[in-house]
Structure 1
Amino acid sequence: MSSQDVLKSASTLASYNVLLQVMFRVLTFLLNAFTLRFVSKELIGVVNVRLTLLYSTLVFLSREAFRRACLSGVSGTNHSWRQVINLLWLTLPLGVLWALLLACVWLWLLEVPDPHAVPYYGPAVVLFALSGVQELLAEPLWVLAQAHMFVRLKVVAESLAMIAKCSITVVLVVFAREWGLYIFSAAHLFYTGSLVLCYVVYFIHLLSSKEAAKKSFPLQHVSELLPCRADREPLVDWRLARLTWSFFKQSFLKQILTEGERYVMTFLNVLSFGDQGVYDIVNNLGSMVARFIFLPIEESFYIFFAKVLQRGRDVRSQKQEDVAIAAEVLECLLKLVLVIGLIIAVFGYAYSYLALDIYGGSLLSSGAGPSLLRCYSCYVLLLAVNGVTECFVFAAMSQEEVDKYNFVMLALSLSFLSLSYALTWWAGAVGFILANCLNMGLRILHSLLYIHNYFRSSPWKPLQGLLPSPLLMLALGISAIVTVLSEGLFCCDKGWLPRLVHVSGGALCLLGVFVAVLLTETRLVQFVRTQLLPKYTKKRT
């Protein structure tokens, strides 16, 4: 597959993933707004912080290293899918071990919630751990699908599973509210089970038809999806196994950075379960754009960079055409997320209170809620830039560089935990976001230095020209002033008519920013139309 074909496939995958994440976040958004009317904030805190942390930790530590190593390892032709599948099946016993260990910690070492306010905590821990192990059954199939760019499979599977999860949650919340945590445990088990079922059904259908041969799929029989040893070759590819181990050491530290505030809340008890619930709702609301735009872009273009660039080799020893494409894509992606992040920071500050008041009423808009969302709007800018820079860095690093970076991650993890604990006592829940901002800034600085050194001996300089045009910066500055003044004059306790005036003013400012982008960022607009919106472009042509 040529670099242009890989870019086209990665762009299509990013577009589908964006649509998928939009649907997920909208459904979760509506589901949280619904459940807020029926269950206590303490119950939401335990589910969204304590139990979700158990599930995400188990799944991330069991599969993340395998995903990164295997997707990088299959980018060339010198690999055996038999060995790759055998390696991926190791995620299952590893997941069982993590499930046993984490369940013991969650049951016996952490504070147990009040059984009257949060009933059935013990069984819920077991069921959430079981759901994580269940999802690992689809891991070899997921990697096969990603490596061969089966973009629609992920969208369909996760969409059906998410719809099923939300439907079960709504029905049980309305008709069996006394079940407590059993409601969310059953819904999550059904979600992971549906996900696995979709992947299994798809690959059974694919391998039972002639389509696999037409697509030159490396497997021909369903039995090849199961682990087995081929003649005259090792059970696994030990080069990939060593790379997996390097990523595994890094994944533990990355998980602490990703979910650091939840670990601090869970293990250090700096916030009550009710405050954790409010923080998590505000956090999810603030991260909606980051999750349904930035994360799919990061995941999809990591695959692109991993396939186009040869890991561990400098610029001069690679195909110059591939390096040129990678540099151009990296520059456009950084410019794109920078512009989107600035827009979110500007408009998020003036509309945080109104958004929380509409979404959850005084439960969210009173207290620290608006301040949390305002800080998160600024944090999203750092989150966006870090996602793109790290997806390039992790695709280009050699195994030795990955090992060295583990020490950097260790230092960042320790500093983040220390900062989170100290800043939370000083500024409450806002301290979590401040600690995230500081650590994210350090990670961005490290990645930018790596990218600068990587392209230093080449004619391509993807870090140059990232600053937005003066007209766009002027439009953003005027929008910031206008929306802040509008909030003070018209929002948010003066009735619905002043609120509409406030929203209308923001809409006009946003329109002005979009016009500035279209007039001055023509290269960026062309990249979005041709690479991130391929279906739209196809229809136009």
Structure 2
Amino acid sequence: MGSQEVLGQAARLASSGLLLQVLFRLITFVLNAFILRFLSKEIVGVVNVRLTLLYSTTLFLAREAFRRACLSGGTQRDWSQTLNLLWLTVPLGVFWSLFLGWIWLQLLEVPDPNVVPHYATGVVLFGLSAVVELLGEPFWVLAQAHMFVKLKVIAESLSVILKSILTAFLVLWLPHWGLYIFSLAQLFYTTVLVLCYVTYFTKLLDSPESTKLQTLPVSRIRDLLPNITRNRAFINWKEAKLTWSFFKQSFLKQILTEGVYDIVNNLGSLVARLIFQPIEESFYIFFAKVLEREKDATLQKQEDVAVAAAVLESLLKLALLAGLTITVFGFAYSQLALDIYGGAMLSSGYGPVLLRSYCLYVLLLAINGVTECFTFAAMSKEEVDRYNFVMLALSSSFLVLSYLLTRWCGSVGFILANCFNMGIRITQSLCFIHRYYRRSLHRPLAGLHLSPVLLGTFALSGGVTAVSEVLLCCEQGWPARLAHTAVGAFCLGATLGTAFLTETKLIHFLRTQLGVPRRTDKMT
């Protein structure tokens, strides 16, 4: 498969992921509005924060490293060993669900059972749902590696929609069940998701078309199960060592260097998550398939190296533009957003300052996502291990800096410490990218350069909207707020128009890769 074909498939995967994110956010918003009419905000809060955090942390620690290692390129891969390695996520998930479940029940404060009943059952079922989802990990990785776009869209959409219907039905008819409702719905969601992948591969491999799919490394559904043979190792130890390196990195990132307050995090990073999570996931696969680990850029196929450099440059430009837009306009509209979201309780306190600070963090978050997307796809195992040592030192400095800045300027200090942490990580990735391409003719870091005209437009928009906030928002009532919103819409339109006229290379990339439908085979 050529690099251009891989790029096209990665772009389709990213665009479909973006549409899914929008759909899921819309469904979640409507569902939460419905649920709050029947259940207390304390129950909804425990589900959205405590139990969801347990579920996502279990999955992240159990599978993230395996995904990064097993989605890396390698045309000579023995897929039976890769699938065996992926099945190890299940016992690892059992361990993490039990360990984290014990922390949630024994070390963290347990909610008042009169206000939030059945909390222990919720912890158990959310942990179990994570383990159930891990049963589909070999199927998911195989689908992602071969970029089965339609499968991902159908499986995730169907699972979310059925989960939402079940949740709404139980809330309407059995509201006294409380956490039972969300726990059963979550378990139902992961079960449907796994069954979609299993059913798809079962039908695909049993059909006559499966003989035509020469790129598919399995011919029977049994080939996807753990396979022990005498003449070769159970797993590929080189792949396993790379997984261990990524696991150490994931553990450090999750436990030591992540975290920001809930409401501000949800509002501030909404656009970044909507746009960049699908892009990072999809283009990590692209870089991992096109580039070869352990090899210098000059020793690889130059067409692939050139395509990877062009894509990286465009993604960096996209991340920078999106992040700057959030930062510039977020500064003047944080108070209004919090006022709409939570009323005067949020907008009149410390919330606007916190959200403004977080907008700067989102800019760094967006750039870091793209740079690490490339870096972790191209790094050798030894380079990943060296990076982990830097992460360990960084984590220690992050904790110290968090303590000092929090004492100095409160919650904003914690966000500033996160900005410092993210800045160091970006610097590490930029240094790697520079070294990777220094002996070639390609300069993908040019994606971080903007035209002076566009930078001036951002600066002017920031100044105009800041003045508009002082004069119009937010004590003067809704007519003034609407006027402030209109000023922002005009400035945003002017900024996007300037970007459209000056960043022609990025616009061409978006049009050709994300905006133009292509003919695909039945798998995609």
Classify 1:363/1:158 alpha carbon distance in 2 versus 1 (closer, same or farther; 3 Å): farther
**Counterparts of 1:340 and 1:87, CA distance in 2:** 37
500-509 or 40-49, which deviates more = 40-49
Alpha-carbon shift at residue 164 of structure 1 (Å): 2.6
> C-alpha deviations, 1:504-535, integer Å up to 9, x for none?
11111111111101111111110111112232
Equivalent residue letter for 2:187? L
The aligned residue for residue 8 of structure 1 is: 8
- Structure 1 position 375 matched with structure 2 position 357: yes
The partner residue of 1:328 within 294, 298, 310 is: 310
- Which residue in the other structure is 2:249 paired with? 250
Per the TM alignment, residue 338 of structure 1 is displaced from its structure 2 partner at its CA by 0.2
Q: Any conservation in 2 of the 1:529–1:537 contact (CA below 8 Å)?
A: no
SS of the residue corresponding to residue 293 of structure 2 reads: coil
Correspondence for 1:146? 144
Amino acid at match of 2:414: F
Query: Partner amino acid for 1:225?
Result: L
Q: Which residue of 2 aligns with 1:270?
A: none
Q: Which residue pairs with 2:95 in the alignment?
A: 97
Contact 1:51 1:128 in 2 (8 A): yes
Instruction: Give the Cα–Cα distance (whole angstroms) in 2 for the partners of residues 24 and 164 of structure 1.
Output: 12
Letter in 1 for 2:209: E
Query: SS state of the match for residue 534, structure 1?
Result: coil
Q: For 1:48-86, what per-residue CA distance to the aligned partner results, in whole angstroms no more than 9, with x for missing partners?
A: 3322221122111111111111111xx222111111111
Question: Cα 1:192–1:420, aligned 2, differ >3 Å: closer, same or farther?
Answer: farther
Aligned to 1:128: 126
Contact 1:8 1:531 in 2 (8 A): yes
Determine the structure 2 residue equivalent to 1:265: none
Structure 1 pair 257/301, CA: closer, same or farther in 2 (3 Å)? farther
* SS of residue in 2 equivalent to 1:463: helix
| Residues in 2 aligned to 1:147 and 1:162: alpha-carbon distance in whole angstroms | 23
CA contact (8 A) 1:99 1:129 kept: yes
- C-alpha separation in 1, matches of 2:161 and 2:226: 32
Match of 1:159 in 2: 157
Counting aligned pairs with the same residue, the percent is: 64
Give the deviation of 1:491 after TM superposition. Answer: 2.0
* More deviation, 185-194/393-402: 185-194
Q: Is the 8 A contact 2:139 2:197 kept in 1?
A: yes
Q: What amino acid does structure 2 have at the position aligned with 1:260?
A: G
Superposed CA offset, 1:124-182 (max 9, x none): 11111111101101100000000111012112211122223333334444554433322
Residue 264 (structure 1) aligns with: none
Amino acid in structure 1 at the alignment position of 2:90? L
3-state secondary structure, aligned to 2:445: coil
Quick one: which amino acid aligns to residue 286 of structure 1?
G
Question: How far, CA to CA, are the matches of 2:395 and 2:157 in structure 1?
Answer: 33
Residue of structure 1 equivalent to 2:210? 212
In structure 2, the residue corresponding to 1:68 is in which secondary structure?
A: helix
C-alpha distance in 2 between matches for 1:531 and 1:65: 28
Report how far residue 537 of structure 1 moved. Answer: 12
1:414 maps onto 2:399 in alignment: no
What is the CA deviation profile of residues 407-432 of structure 1, one whole-angstrom value per residue up to 9, with x for unaligned ones? Answer: 11212223333444454455444343
1:71-128 per-residue CA deviation (whole Å, 9 max, x = no partner) reads: 11xx222111111111111111111111222212221122222222322221111111
Are 1:45 and 1:280, in contact at CA under 8 Å, matched by a contact in 2? no
1:269 counterpart residue number: none
* CA distance in structure 2 between the aligned counterparts of 1:352 and 1:393, rounded to whole angstroms: 33
Aligned to 1:28: 28
Report matched runs for 1:269-418 at 5 Å: 279-418=261-400
Q: CA deviation digits over 1:207-237, x for unaligned, max 9?
A: 1212322222221212212112246222222
The TM-score normalised by the length of structure 2 is 0.93
Instruction: State whether residues 11 and 534 of structure 1, in contact with CA within 8 Å, keep that contact through their aligned partners in structure 2.
Output: no
Cα distance change of structure 1 residues 259 and 123 upon mapping to structure 2, 3 Å threshold: farther
Distance 1:110 1:366, change over 3 A: same
Task: State the Cα deviation string for residues 269-306 of structure 1 (Å, max 9, x = none).
Answer: xxxxxxxxxx4233112211111111111111111111
Q: 1:172 to 1:420 in 2, by over 3 A?
A: farther
What is the CA–CA distance in structure 2 between the aligned matches of 1:363 and 1:185, rounded to whole Å? 31
The Cα of 1:389 is off from its aligned counterpart by: 0.5
> For residues 198 and 424 of structure 1, do their structure 2 counterparts lie closer, same or farther at Cα, with a shift above 3 Å needed?
farther
Counterpart code for 1:68 = R
Q: How many angstroms apart in 1 are the aligned matches of 2:356 and 2:37?
A: 24
Change (3 A) 1:152 1:421: farther
**Offset, 1:257:** 5.0
Q: Which amino acid aligns with 1:353?
A: Q
CA distance in 2, matches of 1:429, 1:139: 38
Give 2:493's aligned amino acid.
L
C-alpha separation in 2, matches of 1:504 and 1:302: 38
The CA distance in 1 between the partners of 2:178 and 2:406, in whole Å, is 30
Once the two structures are superposed, what CA deviation does each residue of 1:303-350 show, in whole Å capped at 9, x if it has no partner?
Answer: 111111110211221111111111111111101110111111111121
* CA pair 363-28 structure 1, distance change in 2 beyond 3 A: farther
Q: TM-score, normalised by structure 1?
A: 0.91
- CA–CA distance in 1 between the matches of 2:229 and 2:468? 69
- The residue aligned with 2:46 is 46
Deviates more, 1:478-487 or 1:222-231: 222-231
Closer/same/farther in 2, CA of residues 299 and 285 from structure 1, 3 Å limit: same
Q: 2:421 aligns with which of 439, 444, 464?
A: 439
Aligned to 2:107: 109
Q: Report the residue type matching 1:357 in the other structure.
A: D
Q: Name whichever of 449-458 and 460-469 sits farther off.
A: 460-469
Q: Give the whole-Å Cα distance in 2 for the aligned partners of 1:83 and 1:114.
A: 48
Question: Distance in 1 between the 2:23 and 2:256 partners?
Answer: 26
Cα gap change, 1:480 to 1:171, in 2 (>3 Å): farther
CA distance 1:175–1:499, shift in 2 (3 Å): farther
Distance 1:84 1:514, change over 3 A: same
Q: Which runs of 5+ in 2 are unaligned?
A: none
Q: Which moved more, 1:473-482 or 1:387-396?
A: 473-482
State how far apart, in whole Å, the 2-side matches of 1:362 and 1:175 are. Answer: 34
Q: Which residue of 2 aligns with 1:225?
A: 224
Instruction: Answer yes or no: is 1:193 the counterpart of 2:191.
Output: yes
